[in-house]
Structures are given as C-alpha cells and as structure tokens.
Structure 1
Amino acid sequence: MNLLKDPWIPVRANGGTGVFRLLAYQQFLCEPNNWQVSLPRDDLELACVQLLVCMTQVMFLPEENRTWQKRLKNPLSADEFAAGIKPCHDWFDLDHPTQPFMQSRGVKAAENTPIQKLLIGLPEGNNHAFFNEAGEVRNLSGTLAAITLFNQASNCPSFGGGFKGSLRGGAPITTLVYGADLREMVWRNVLTRSRIAKRQIAMPSFEYDQPTWVRPILEKATIPWNEIGLMRGLFWQPTRVELVKSEVPAPCDVLGGEAVPGYSSFRKEKFNFTVEGVWPHPHGAMTMNLKKDPSVKFSSFTTTAPAWTLLSEFVVPNNINASGAKEGSIPAEPITQVNELGDGDLHLLIGGYRTNQASVLERRHEMISLAQGWQDDKGHLPKLVEIGKEAKKVLRGKLYFAVQGNKDKGLKGIGAAIHEIAEKMFYARTESLIHETFSNDLTYKEWPTAYSIFVKQLAEHCRAIFEELTDPYALKPELIPVIAWARRSMNIDLAKLMEKV
C-alpha cells in the first residue's frame, strides 16, 4: 500500500455522519468535502490527523502567509498535488522492497512480535491496560499498520529496555488546532516556512533531508539535534522494525469489513545511537528549566490531573530571556501560528498517554476550546488555570490536615485517606465549569465579574466536597475538633483566592 496513491484514510463524509470509506490522499487534498476521520480509538484518530499533517507539511510547505490562507480555503489542483509528491513518491510505500514506510528491511529477531503490540496499550506480555486478552488483534490492514507505525515512533514509549523512544521523549503530549473538517484541520496545523525556521528546524532540500528508512541512522552514531531536517524529524523512526504480512487475506481486526491483505506480526531489533540535545518538534509544547539541572523537554502527562491544568504551557509562551524567570514554555507551533493569523475561538486537540516506563496507565485525548478574546490579555488564561489548581490544593491540603491530625494541638486525625478521594472528586465536578469558563466570551469581555463568579463556584465545590467526605466522621465526638479546624482554615484560604483578581 502506497500512502500517496492508494485509498487508506479512514473517513466519514457529512461531518462524520456519512458512510465509512477509505479516501486517497489526492482526493483528500484536491476535492472539497466535509470529511472527518473515523476510527474506533481516539488516539489513533489523532495519530491519523498528525500523520496527514506531517505528510502535507513536508510536501506542500507554504512559503508565506498568503499561500497558507489560500490552501486553508481551497483544495489543491491536480498539478499542484503531482508536483508536491514527486520527490517523495517511493517513500510512503508500506511494502517497498528496499525502503518500506517507517521500516527497515532485513530486521533480525529471535521471534516475531504479535501485531497487537503496535496498538499501544493493548495486552501483549504484561500490559493489560485496555483489553482483557492478548491476541484479540491478529490482523491489521495497511491503513492501521501505517497509522500505528507512525504513532508508535512519534507519540509512544519505546518497546522497552534497549529500544530508543521518540524525539520528544517517552510519551509526549501532542497539541494541534482543531478545524471544522479534516482538510481544514490538517492545513491549520501545517506551518509556513518562516515559522519552521523560527522553531530552529533545519530545512535542507529533499536530496539531503531523507527519512530514516531511506537514509538509515548509523549504528552508534552521535547526531546533533540541529542536523535533523524537517522531513527526517517529523518521520523519525527510532527502532529497526519490519512488518510481516499475513499468510492469507483477512478482515482487519480494528476496521472490520472485507478480507484484505494485511499484517499479522512484525520484527524489531535493538540498535544504539545518541541524539545530542532536543529536536524542537512543532507538535508539542516545550518546557525549559534553568534551575539546578538545566533541561528542555516536551510536556507529558505525569499525574492524573486533567489536561486543563497544563493549558498555560499549551498556549501561552513564557520566554525565559524576556522574563528573567528560571522556568519557561513554548507552545506547539501550530497554536502560535493560528493565534497570529487566525481569529475567533481557538479549539485545541490534545492527546497523550500517562505511562510507567513502557507500560501505559491511561489514555488521555480531549478537546479544549478558548473563546475569542483570550489572546488580548494572555495573563487572564494562566490566572484561571492557576486559581483552579490552587483551589484544589486548598481542599486537598486541609483534608490532609484532618486526616493526619495534630498532636501539638491535641487534634486526633481521621486516618482514612479522604484527601486523595477529594482530589479526584474536585477534578470530576469542576470539569464542566472549567471548560465552560474557558470557552465563554464573557470570561474575557467582563473579566472582573467572570473571575469572581468562577472563584465562588470553585469555592462552593470545595466546601461541598469537604462536607461530603467529613460528615461520616463528624459522628465521632473525638474527630469534631480536627474537622472544625480544617474547615475554618479552608474557608480562610478560599476567601484569599477572591483577592487575586
């Protein structure tokens, strides 16, 4: 299957309500229609969008803003499409005899790995995060093989010890801009040449900037980050991997449908190399820390806290040089580009995995909307995020005090870890409030009023959760003093939040 010629993009027409079909890349870029990606897993849908963005970025890179805006509105012509794919024609063939897409020929492995291992989080070995049994997926079609190969290399933890991970680290968060339909969404995340250069990404010609399966990474090579070009970085394959075809055609165990030639397993092989520094991938927020151990890394989900708690990193640049701070962040470049060139609301596609080394603990994919006007004063959005986090901290901290008690004050503690339950309840109960506030025009047009209402509602949730969790223990006379002490202290701290307008 060649991604530049054959139908492989899983879509539904009419905004996602139409009949499922596989769309060719040329149809996608050259024909007007309201297509939406259609796959049974949210992470695979995001990976499919990101793969299309990367393909379009390297083959149809807009030279300036005018070209970007034109392509956002109008499909490509057949001649423009043919000229764009010509230099890369043999680079996107899954079954190419010498340079198959995101693979290496002649991979040596003691045994084949079941194809299910490519679908991150499905159980093979000891990982049982989302499915109950190993072997539920025995055959993948070309569509799923291409998307999962790309996702594994770009967004997932490595295959385990001795295998290299993506250029962004083990499990980075991807942040893209949402669009009304698939074609618009892809173009909203394709960057102009000047913005690629601003990201400090090298842009040599295709003669020198070839993907890793065309010009392989050398064993034990040391590669400076600034020598990795745009094509090579967006399609970086850190592992030597080779798909193994199924013996007979069979229905895809993810998409279903008719029997098709597919893949039943793959071979993987360890090899060592070093990338010096961090390649500034455009599809994720970068954080910088200049404290004891200076570091640059990509945002990732390290706790169970929802995505909104990281929203400041996702959309608001915090330049260390300008502020003199020891910590800073740079949003994904499509977010910056749309803020500069677009207007109206901003809708973010956010996705990633919370992991423990190579094991996936949680899949996190959602959309967050920001109403028009948030850019006018970028201090407002971080303040909303910070107040939400502080309210949770107050609730959790005061309940922790009630749990532990205080010997010096003669206060006996509850003992049960209700503070941990409170944190989960806070995130669950405030989720709709948070999203409604971020996406409401009045939040930014009538800031003092909207902020006061937001803080009051957060405080009401905190008090309700506190009472709900402590009421059963208030029946014991010896616990009433510590509960009363914690309640009074919580109310004082919640009142202080109102002063931070």
Structure 2
Amino acid sequence: MAKMDLLRNAWIPVRHRNGAVTGDLITLEEQLCGSEAWDIALPRDDLEMACLQLLICLVQVMFPPDDAPALRQRAKTPLSPEEFADGVAKLGDWFDLDHPEWPFMQTRGIKADEATPIQKLLIGLPEGNNHAFFNEPGEIRYLGAPAAAIALFHQAVNCPSFGGGFKGGLRGGAPITTLVSGDHLRETIWRNVLTRESITDLLPVYDFDFAQDQPTWVQPIKAGETFPTARIGLLRGLFWQPAHVSLIGADEQQSCQLLGGEPGPAYSGFLKEKFTYTAEGTPWPHPHGALQVATKKGKREEKFLSFTTTAPAWTLMSEFVVPRSGKQDPEGSRPASAIVQFSTTWPKKPLSLLVGGYRSNQASVIERRHELLSLASGWEAGSNLKHLVELALKSRDALWKKLFYVGKGNKDKGFKGLGVGLQKTGEVLFFRRTERLVQSALADVAFDDAGFNTHRGNFVAALAKVCRDIFNELTEPYAAKPELIPIIAVARAGLGTELARLQQEVKTHGG
C-alpha cells in the first residue's frame, strides 16, 4: 500500500465554496495554511460530518489556542507553514493509515476466522438484510485510503458497535454530534476547537503531555482492563478506538467506490475480533455532544443525547444549546463545549448548528439525521429559545391528547369513541407541517429583539392553526356518523381551549 498519513498526505475531499471545482483531495496543510474557501465533498452527509469532526480533532490536539482572542485570530488568519510543521511534529507518525506498528485506529496481529467486507465499515451498510442507504448489498467493494480513514474514525466515535462482544464509543452507541458551522471549512474547524481554558474546564488536570496522552493504537487498552474514565486524556479520548480492527489491502489497484477517482491502492475488507474492557465513572467529557443528567431510582445518571424517537432534531434544541446546572433541578444538561465556548467567544452572533446522529436498534441503524439548524442572535440567553420550543411541543401534546380522546371516547359521559387511534398519525403530520415554521421562528427574529413577543405570538397562532387543521382533517371522515358527532365536537372544543391557553401563556411570559 502507498503511504497515507493524515498529517502529511492529501486525503481531505473538498470542493470550492463557489462550486467552481469539485472532487479535489487536499492536505491538512493546504486546508489550514491556505486562504481558499473550501467545503467538504462526500456523497453522504453523515460522512461529511465525520470528516469535519476528524479534522477538528486533529487541529484540536495540535493547535489549541490559549484563549478566546487567540481563537478568534486563528479563525481569521491561516497558519504559517512553520506553525503547521511544529504542530505536526508533536504527533510524529501516529496518523499513518498503514504504519507497520501502529496504523491509524487499527490493531496489528488480529485473529479472525474470516474477513469482513469493507462495506461493513460504512454505517448502515452491514452484510445481511440491513441496506438502509444503498440499493444493493455489496455495492461498495473497495475504499481508497481517504474514505477508509474517515470511515474508521466515524465507526469508532459516532456509531453503534459491531454487535455482541464489541464495545461502543465513549459517548454510547449512537450519540448525537453537535458542532458550530462557519462560512467555510477552515472557519468551521476553528469555531469548534477549544481553547486551553475551555479544555481545563473539561479536563481540570490535563497537562498536554503527549508522552502520557497517546492514542489507543499506540498505547493499547489491555484486554479485560478496568480503568476510570478520568484517566483518559484529550487526544486519547477524541480518537478513542473501542474495537480491534485491521484493514485488508486489495490485491490490485482499484477506484474508490465512494469517492471515485483513478485506480490506486484500496481496501477490500478488514479483520475484527471481540475485545472488551470496563471504563468506570462518569462519561468521558467529550466536547462534541450534549450530555444529559437525569435521576433514576435515586441515582444520578449521565449520558450523551441520542435520537430515540422519530421527533425532529429541533425538539432537542434546548438541550443542544441551553445549559442547565442540575443543582436545583435534578434533570440537567450540558451542551457541547464548542457551543458553550462560541456563545462567549463570539457573543451576539447567530448560531448555525450542525446536528448529526442515528436512531438505532442495538447495532442496526434505522434512521439517520444530519442537518443544519439556525438560531438568531440572542440565543445564548436561553429563556426565549426554550419557550419557543416548549410552545411547539405543548401544541403537539394538545393535539395528541385530543386525538387520543376522540378515538377512545368517554363512557362516563356516554360519548362513543371513533374506535381508532389517530394520535400517532396526527403527530407525524404535526412535525411534517411545522418543520419550516419552527425553523423560521428560531432563525428569523433576534431573541432579544423588542419585537420578539409579537413574533412569539404569531408563532403560537400559526401552530394552533396547524393543530386545528390536522384535527379536522383526521376526524372529518367520521363526522358522517351521528353517534360520533358528540365526541368529535367535545374534543374539538377541548383542543381550542388548550390552544387558547398557550396563546395566553405567550402574553404572560414577558420578554
């Protein structure tokens, strides 16, 4: 195999922001030291986000700015070649995909009965009957080195494990990743790099000593080992590889079936073996996701957010961006560190929030979510943003309850129900029809604007209309039966009362 070092060789798939050039592979130095406005260019949005996250992690460990002014300067001005060379020297050859001793995110000497097709490395494309994102099994038979490196990282950090006997990542099986978006790739990277001050908040005793803080493929986890998560350093945690895997080179040069291009060194599969360990204590404070704190059976439980329902990403917006201490409220949350840092390093700026994750059933992915959500300036105060989300969810709840009621009926009052549950259909329609409405409400008017209350009032009125329309649409086919008219009328009136209560809540909430 030809040498492929993430720190030195071209592997980043990009296109010009103006769309003039596509399909380029550039080096990390070209990205950080150049002034070109690039975007990542991959055929899947989840892998684009994984590539971005990999770039952020590399920059984070090599070039952590001292403080907020230094970070703002980094985001404005490209690195010099000398600065870049100094940063790369810190990591030596740890990020060489085919290193003879410590290949990137791999383990040498794996014992496996058979090779696993390379397609298994692309989440959602395992062998068997789960082909959530491709038409035919076996469609991806070869990956070039750039795509393989991105997929290795993504599988380890963001995805469910390979199945029984394999460990998942430090954030759980399918965590939600939240990052700040910038005007172009270089700015986006720096907006998500933590200053030394922010790192100290996360890891109070971390000393930036790479003699002690080494990746798992250089300083391996011992089989069956038990250790505290507090012992995991920044570099080791960002590039945590919970599995034993080893790429298998193709016998002949092949075109990458994900990125295309001319035939070259490629990978046809990988070896994997079961490997377990025990990490004790609270979750490692990974900076790229929101941590939720809950109390269950009297015990404090901390876990990173994941998608567990079909509800859209905006329903979790408060958790994504609004910190709650949990000192008085046992149900707390901590947004991703880059989000918190952005609110103080770039105050009064609108936030473009990148959200990505999967809804999974054990090791199988059943849905993927990757989107950009925009928040108007003033979002960091939290109260008005949280209230907008609550108003939308309370409107959904009012519709759900009345559709459930109309289906079940009320025996005590002699109201016969429809005999069919419409509430789930109503919820699906509500989320579908309010997606643009909610996103506009969050993005169009500054949260600290004098006219925000009027904006909020218009928002809840629009939500009420959607709810009434859905209720009428779903119950209209049953209104032809005289015996069902009473329950429909009572439920419709009850829905109106609930929605009016929300409009009154807007008037009393204040600015």
- In the superposition, the TM-score normalised over structure 2's length comes to 0.96
Report 1:35-434 matches (<5 A): 35-200=38-203, 202-277=206-281, 278-292=283-297, 293-321=299-327, 324-343=328-347, 344-375=349-380, 377-434=381-438
Alpha-carbon distance, 1:491 to partner: 0.7
| Residues 14/378 of structure 1: CA separation in 2 closer, same or farther (3 Å cut) | closer
Q: Deviations over 1:193-223 (max 9, x none)?
A: 1101111363440000000000000111112
Structure 2 stretches of 5 or more lacking a match? Answer: 507-511
Q: What is the distance in 2 between the residues matched to 1:345 and 1:443?
A: 10
- 8 A contact 1:474–1:483 mirrored in 2: yes
SS in 1 for 2:279: strand
Query: What is the one-letter code of the residue matched to 2:390?
Result: E
Q: What is the distance in 2 between the residues matched to 1:498 and 1:479?
A: 29
- 8 A contact 1:373–1:441 mirrored in 2: no
SS in 2 for 1:294: strand
Query: What is the one-letter code of the residue matched to 2:376?
Result: A
Q: What is the distance in 2 between the residues matched to 1:232 and 1:22?
A: 27
Query: What is the one-letter code of the residue matched to 2:54?
Result: L
Q: Deviations over 1:163-212 (max 9, x none)?
A: 00000001000000001000000000000011011113634400000000
SS in 2 for 1:472: helix
Alpha-carbon distance, 1:320 to partner: 1.4
SS in 2 for 1:152: helix
- 8 A contact 1:29–1:183 mirrored in 2: yes
Q: What is the distance in 2 between the residues matched to 1:139 and 1:403?
A: 53
Q: What is the distance in 1 between the residues matched to 2:49 and 2:330?
A: 33
- 8 A contact 1:73–1:184 mirrored in 2: yes
Q: What is the distance in 1 between the residues matched to 2:366 and 2:86?
A: 44
- 8 A contact 1:49–1:186 mirrored in 2: yes
Query: What is the one-letter code of the residue matched to 2:462?
Result: Q
SS in 2 for 1:218: coil
Q: What is the distance in 1 between the residues matched to 2:444 and 2:489?
A: 37
Moved more, 335-344 or 156-165: 335-344
Query: What is the one-letter code of the residue matched to 1:289?
Result: A
SS in 2 for 1:475: coil
Q: What is the distance in 2 between the residues matched to 1:474 and 1:15?
A: 55
- 8 A contact 1:153–1:238 mirrored in 2: yes
SS in 1 for 2:324: coil
Q: Does 1:13 align with 2:16?
A: yes
SS in 1 for 2:412: coil
Q: What is the distance in 2 between the residues matched to 1:80 and 1:199?
A: 26
Q: Does 1:495 align with 2:486?
A: no
Alpha-carbon distance, 1:450 to partner: 1.2
Q: What is the distance in 1 between the residues matched to 2:17 and 2:208?
A: 39
Q: What is the distance in 2 between the residues matched to 1:204 and 1:254?
A: 36
SS in 2 for 1:368: strand
Q: What is the distance in 1 between the residues matched to 2:438 and 2:18?
A: 27
Query: What is the one-letter code of the residue matched to 1:124?
Result: E
Alpha-carbon distance, 1:17 to partner: 4.6
Moved more, 206-215 or 473-482: 473-482
Report 1:22-33 matches (<5 A): 22-33=25-36
- 8 A contact 1:124–1:134 mirrored in 2: yes
Q: What is the distance in 1 between the residues matched to 2:51 and 2:133?
A: 20
| Residues 17/346 of structure 1: CA separation in 2 closer, same or farther (3 Å cut) | farther
Query: What is the one-letter code of the residue matched to 1:82?
Result: A
Q: Deviations over 1:387-432 (max 9, x none)?
A: 1111001101100111111222222222233211110110010011
Alpha-carbon distance, 1:16 to partner: 4.3
SS in 2 for 1:79: helix
Q: Deviations over 1:242-277 (max 9, x none)?
A: 000011111111111211211000011111200112
Matched residue count: 498
Alpha-carbon distance, 1:477 to partner: 1.6
Q: What is the distance in 1 between the residues matched to 2:103 and 2:145?
A: 12
Q: What is the distance in 2 between the residues matched to 1:59 and 1:233?
A: 14
Q: What is the distance in 1 between the residues matched to 2:19 and 2:210?
A: 36
Query: What is the one-letter code of the residue matched to 2:316?
Result: L
| Residues 149/191 of structure 1: CA separation in 2 closer, same or farther (3 Å cut) | same
Query: What is the one-letter code of the residue matched to 1:472?
Result: P
Moved more, 409-418 or 46-55: 409-418
Q: What is the distance in 2 between the residues matched to 1:71 and 1:436?
A: 31
| Residues 95/19 of structure 1: CA separation in 2 closer, same or farther (3 Å cut) | same
Counterpart position of 2:509: none
| Residues 351/13 of structure 1: CA separation in 2 closer, same or farther (3 Å cut) | same
Q: Deviations over 1:211-242 (max 9, x none)?
A: 00000001111121111000000000000000
Alignment root-mean-square deviation, CA: 1.2
Alpha-carbon distance, 1:87 to partner: 2.0
Q: What is the distance in 1 between the residues matched to 2:19 and 2:357?
A: 23
Q: What is the distance in 2 between the residues matched to 1:19 and 1:489?
A: 56
| Residues 426/444 of structure 1: CA separation in 2 closer, same or farther (3 Å cut) | farther
Q: What is the distance in 1 between the residues matched to 2:306 and 2:319?
A: 11
Alpha-carbon distance, 1:134 to partner: 1.4
Alpha-carbon distance, 1:291 to partner: 4.4
Question: Out of 450, 457, 465, which is 2:462 matched to?
Answer: 457
Alpha-carbon distance, 1:131 to partner: 2.2
